Chain A
Amino acid sequence: MLPGINTAKDGGIMHNQEELILLGHGSGGRLSHDLIKNIMVSAFANPLLAELHDGARFSIDGTKLAFTTDSYVVKPRFFPGGDIGKLAVCGTVNDLAMCGAKPLYLSAGFILEEGLPIAELKKIVESMRATAQVAGVTIVTGDTKVVERGAVDGIYINTAGIGAILPQADITASRVKPGQEVIVSGYLGDHAIAVMSERHGLTLPSEIISDCAPLNGLIQELLTEVPAISMLRDPTRGGLATTLNEIAADAGVGIVLEERSLPVRPEVSAVCELLGFEPLYLANEGKVVVFVEKEYSEKVLKIMHQYQVSAAARIIGTVSDKAAGQVALRTMVGGLRLLDMLSGEQLPRIC
């Protein structure tokens, strides 16, 4: 190996004298997964955590509940289609919905940087209020801390949420079976592109805005009308490819996607081509991917098409009994390739 490189006790290779957190650890791909698995999950070890779904599900005195948390550090704080506050409410509301729960109560923790204009804080909080109202949830508790200039970037928000599991809901990896179809609720990559374009000197047409939205209304109707739905997840950090890889691994099935069916706006494709990114690995904040038996796909689509957030929903693939744990993409020219999990963060490239 490289000289000066130590071999760690488990036989892995340490590339730094002291292992440090990299930006890649936060991108939702393999590096993130390994970090969480090796450090947090192994320390906190318990069966509820081991499920590693969007939230934890448990019973208290016979009442089935879901509980989740998420932190928000997005830059810029205000972006086309949303802001950090809206994101903070939607993210937790959606995670609860993905557990098959009706979101009820949220907490909101704020870490504020000295020097943040109060007018900005007010805007963000108002955005949270409005989003919570649309989602039908109440923010019932919270916390506020202030740190010195430079210690955080403006404002960081953490939200945690509790919901009541819907009686018809049975979202679990073991119900994902070969023959089921994979449906996505709409265009991929809008959020990531809306957030990053400013940074890269690109001007986007006004149609490209973050898809950030609460999905609990849609999901409640879906689960009530189609209890056959075996799996739901929102393709956030790491994109659709990462989410599907997680599901394929959890469920021990293969997944095959059809490239020609994937919904990506031409503007998003253009930005990806320019910067060397791939839409399937970009974060979405208002999309859900649904797994269901083939005979119910039409019904799912019909319900989805009635909601603005899922007007562009379509079937994008199937669950297979081959190559378990892996996701394949059938390309426009008919070839088949592996759609791997994201390794670290996507970097812009010119080559």
Chain B
Amino acid sequence: MRLTAEETARAADFLTQAIAKLAQRPVRLMEVCGTHTVSIFRNGIRQLLPPTVELVSGPGCPVCVTPNQYLDTAIAYSGREDTILATFGDMLKVPGSQSTLMAEKTQGADIRIVYSPLESLTMARDNPEKAVIFLAVGFETTAPTAAATILQAAQQGLDNFFVLSAHKLVPPALRTILAAPDIRVDGFLLPGHTAAISGFAPYQFVVSEYQVPAVITGFEALDILQAIYMLLAQIAAGKAELANQYRRVVKPAGNEAAWNILQQVYQPAAAIWRGFGEIADSGLALRPEYSAFDAKLRLPLAAVVTREPAGCRCGEVLCGRIRPKDCPHFGHSCTPEHPVGACMVSVEGACAAWYKYGQGRWNYA
């Protein structure tokens, strides 16, 4: 069920030529999702596009948009006696105000990497005398997995499992970008996996209220090229429709079972996004029925002092206002080994991707 190398190359060739024909004037397309940012770089897609097509990164990197306060709180929890912190690997090197989870782990804090939130339930069962706190970060793709985990914890009657939630929803951030008068986006590559969960409905407003074309996009190189083609075709025809390039995965109604589990455990709440400030109804908070699992309620912590890194322009990168290399820190004082902000250390951060894949410091002529 795969294409051969020749077929892939031919298809790519065809799409890039078609794109070049359509891109007569400059267009600015936003790839919302961090996984798209990485895929675009890993496949060298920018090299294939004509100079008239600019791809700009958006706020779809859950680690990047998580503010310092969350990291500082997590780090503070890791310093507690009898506490195990369970986290996705993505969070480990992200800088808080003073430190990182990786640094704390090196100095002895019990911080464990999990691939699935369910692993933290096993930790809770195996360590009844300790509190296990799961760092729940991620968008609509990941939040249902945390919700399902909480339901299981409730079923199993666990009293030492907690969640520090920073889940966010993508559409409210898109709305903020669309409403900002100084940010111009001519088309959106929408995140295929969040749409796989939520369905089309939450993204309709992009075309109906703002008349900007949007395509729900898959993650392979050819998916992305086809989606860019579809956007340019719409722009050339003066259309603004919500189209689905990722038909093999995204159904119009999404995954209703997952969405229901999400709604059962979580409710929308205001959330702070790095670079955006507070956005109403853009985060997910535990419903009162599940407050027993809320770390901040059940495990009180002394107030955490938070400072944002001076001169860090991650926020502007996340809105697509500047490119990573426009930030004065990029490549000099801010590198993956010594990051100033989250965008440089998160695997999906625009700055990290630009740096790692050579943009802004390498150009293969």
Q: Interface of A with B (CB < 8 Å)? A: 1-4, 12-13, 15-16, 20-23, 30-31, 34, 200-201, 260, 275-276, 322-323, 326, 328-338, 340, 343-344, 347-351
Q: How far is the CA of A240 from the CA of B103 in the complex (A)?
A: 28
Besides A328-B364, A332-B9, A332-B221, 18 other CB < 8 A contacts? Answer: A1-B311, A2-B98, A4-B98, A12-B338, A15-B95, A323-B364, A332-B5, A332-B43, A333-B12, A333-B222, A334-B16, A335-B43, A343-B336, A344-B93, A344-B336, A347-B92, A348-B89, A351-B347
- B340 CB contacts on chain A under 8 angstroms: 1-2
Spot the interface stretch: B246-254, B258-266, B289-297, B354-362.
Answer: B354-362
- A1 CB contacts on chain B under 8 angstroms: 309-311, 333, 340
Q: Which chain A residue shows the least CB distance to B340?
A: A1
How does the 8 Å CB contact mask read for B88-116 relative to A, with 1 for contact and 0 for none? 11101101011110110011000001010
> A340's contact among B47, B106, B310, B357, by CB below 8 Å, is which?
B357
10 A–B contacts from the bound complex (CB under 8 Å): A1-B309, A2-B310, A4-B98, A15-B100, A323-B364, A331-B42, A332-B8, A337-B42, A349-B89, A350-B89
> B62's contact among A4, A329, A336, A351, by CB below 8 Å, is which?
A351
* B335 → A minimal CB distance (Å): 8
Q: How far is the CA of A4 from the CA of B307 in the complex (A)?
A: 11
- A275 CB contacts on chain B under 8 angstroms: 115
Q: Is B142 an interface residue (CB 8 A)?
A: yes
Q: Is B61 an interface residue (CB 8 A)?
A: yes
Q: Is the pair A323, B337 in contact by a Cβ cutoff of 8 Å?
A: no
- A260 CB contacts on chain B under 8 angstroms: 5, 9
- A34 CB contacts on chain B under 8 angstroms: 337
Q: Is B78 an interface residue (CB 8 A)?
A: no
Q: Is B229 an interface residue (CB 8 A)?
A: no
* Interface size in chain B (residues, C-beta < 8 A): 58
- B356 CB contacts on chain A under 8 angstroms: 338, 340, 343
* B104 → A minimal CB distance (Å): 10
Q: Is the pair A334, B12 in contact by a Cβ cutoff of 8 Å?
A: yes
Q: Is the pair A276, B365 in contact by a Cβ cutoff of 8 Å?
A: no
- A333 CB contacts on chain B under 8 angstroms: 8-9, 12, 43-45, 48, 221-222, 225
Q: Is B67 an interface residue (CB 8 A)?
A: no
* A133 → B minimal CB distance (Å): 40
Q: Is B283 an interface residue (CB 8 A)?
A: no
Q: Which chain A residue shows the least CB distance to B142?
A: A350
Q: Is the pair A276, B89 in contact by a Cβ cutoff of 8 Å?
A: yes
How does the 8 Å CB contact mask read for B41-69 relative to A, with 1 for contact and 0 for none? 11111111000000000000111000000
* A317 → B minimal CB distance (Å): 13
Given the contacts A1-B309, A332-B43, A351-B35, A338 and B90 also touching, CB distance less than 8 Å: no
> B102's contact among A13, A22, A343, by CB below 8 Å, is which?
A22
Q: Which chain B residue shows the least CB distance to A332?
A: B8
> A334's contact among B13, B89, B310, B357, by CB below 8 Å, is which?
B13
* B79 → A minimal CB distance (Å): 15
Q: Is the pair B113, A348 in contact by a Cβ cutoff of 8 Å?
A: yes
Residues 1 to 22 of chain B near chain A (Cβ within 8 Å): 5, 8-9, 12-13, 16
* A318 → B minimal CB distance (Å): 13
Q: How far is the CA of A350 from the CA of B63 in the complex (A)?
A: 11
- B5 CB contacts on chain A under 8 angstroms: 260, 332
* B85 → A minimal CB distance (Å): 15
Q: How far is the CA of A125 from the CA of B256 in the complex (A)?
A: 57
- A331 CB contacts on chain B under 8 angstroms: 42-44, 221
Q: Is the pair A336, B115 in contact by a Cβ cutoff of 8 Å?
A: no
Q: How far is the CA of A33 from the CA of B327 in the complex (A)?
A: 27
Q: How far is the CA of A52 from the CA of B171 in the complex (A)?
A: 52
Q: Is the pair B97, A13 in contact by a Cβ cutoff of 8 Å?
A: no
Taking each of A4, A326, A335, which has the highest tally of chain B beta carbons within 10 Å of its own beta carbon? A335
